[in-house]
Structure 1
């Protein structure tokens, strides 16, 4: 599968997904928020979020930056702030959708010339969305000391599923993107739902959520994502 290896995550909330395999670089408080907002501003591709039909809170989450400083992907949160939940307890009270935008990039040399960065495809968006959902899930009967092992196992499964978007685990779902019906790959699990597709502008969208149905969602370009960090929306 085409992945986003060699990418560093910058998280507005001071944490990066442990399951992602990226080199982690975080900061605390306002410094992290400013760094994330700058990442959204400096991206050379359009950002997507839920369209204007969603009127709830929005916030910037992490951005992924390559070694040469190029922004590769990022996530915008909608609704409740995700917390780690078991798959059977309390999930109905938590309603959120996270939209991940991934730049379409070919296989290319890394910025330091020491290797290559993998191409990014719709499978990359599916992987980021699937692993993101798992980062906010906790099996009810699992001892906390075993969660890392469980997470590693489940994210490997998510990787395999993202590499087989035409397989039986996925179904087709048509949702509007900038008002245009667009085909997405969609799957549900006991943890929530995940979808991934490609826009007419060439970027890939991944999304995941709980408590909010994916069937009524629509996506649109965000003209000023940094405003989400500045409290203007």
Structure 2
């Protein structure tokens, strides 16, 4: 597994003070659902890391674009929400860690799978759990998501072909009681996605030339 767990841990993701400016600072293209999605679109969260080629300290390493209902923030009902999240992950080569004490492995499709899996857990954890049990559940399920992301060719995953900019692209796909997760590659980036109550079989991805469509919160 690559070091995205360190540089792009979902727990470290944040909503920037100026979301559009933060997204536009990326040195890679953003991907969202194509025109087949006619519902609400919104900005998710951004994760940053150390990119030695970047000129800005907070150049994103990954970020999410949301479609449909925004996931619940607290102990609210989650099973009624319908959403699909697209995670765009920059292609990064081996690089120095943020504290300059070691190196981080290159990003890969497993990076996108881990971020998507962790994102699904954060969006769908059982709202009836108290704080202690919730953390235990998240720790346990996150460890499982990490192991699954590290074995994309394993039996937990199946193949799914979806359009990316109108062209068929292979993805690795899995379902759980909480929703679905998929991961693959796209021109210039790695793509992860997760959702609930939205069929993954009917979606497609495309580059997002105008992020204003996602800023109508």
**Which residue of 2 is the match for residue 97 of structure 1?**
84
Q: CA RMSD in A?
A: 2.4
**Which residue of 1 is the match for residue 116 of structure 2?**
129
Task: Report the alpha carbon displacement of residue 117 of structure 1 after superposing the two structures with TM.
Answer: 2.8
Pick the aligned partner of 2:163 from 163, 171, 176: 176
Q: Structure 1 pair 8/90, CA: closer, same or farther in 2 (3 Å)?
A: closer
Pick the aligned partner of 2:192 from 183, 188, 206: 206
CA distance in 2, matches of 1:141, 1:71: 34
**Which residue of 1 is the match for residue 2 of structure 2?**
2
**Which residue of 2 is the match for residue 49 of structure 1?**
32
Task: Report the alpha carbon displacement of residue 38 of structure 1 after superposing the two structures with TM.
Answer: 1.6
CA distance in 2, matches of 1:47, 1:58: 14
Contact 2:78 2:126 in 1 (8 A): no
Query: Which aligned segments of 4 or more residues in structure 1 are displaced greater than 6 angstroms?
Result: none
CA distance in 1, matches of 2:128, 2:86: 29
Q: Does 1:37 align with 2:20?
A: yes
The one-character-per-residue Cα deviations of 1:26-81 (angstroms, maximum 9, x if unpaired) are: 57xxxx341x3222101111100000111111111111111443321000000011
Q: Does 1:216 align with 2:199?
A: no
Q: Does 1:81 align with 2:67?
A: no
Q: Structure 1 pair 163/81, CA: closer, same or farther in 2 (3 Å)?
A: same
The 3-state SS of whatever aligns with 1:82 is coil
CA distance in 1, matches of 2:185, 2:43: 21
Pick the aligned partner of 1:228 from 208, 214, 217: 214
The alignment covers a number of residue pairs equal to 210
CA distance in 1, matches of 2:38, 2:195: 16
Q: Does 1:156 align with 2:143?
A: yes
Q: Which runs of 5+ in 1 are unaligned?
A: 10-16
CA distance in 2, matches of 1:4, 1:140: 27
Q: Which runs of 5+ in 2 are unaligned?
A: 51-56
CA distance in 2, matches of 1:53, 1:149: 38
TM-score, normalised relative to structure 2: 0.87
**Which residue of 1 is the match for residue 58 of structure 2?**
69
CA distance in 1, matches of 2:89, 2:105: 13
**Which residue of 1 is the match for residue 53 of structure 2?**
none
Contact 1:85 1:136 in 2 (8 A): no
Q: Structure 1 pair 33/84, CA: closer, same or farther in 2 (3 Å)?
A: closer
TM-score, normalised relative to structure 1: 0.82
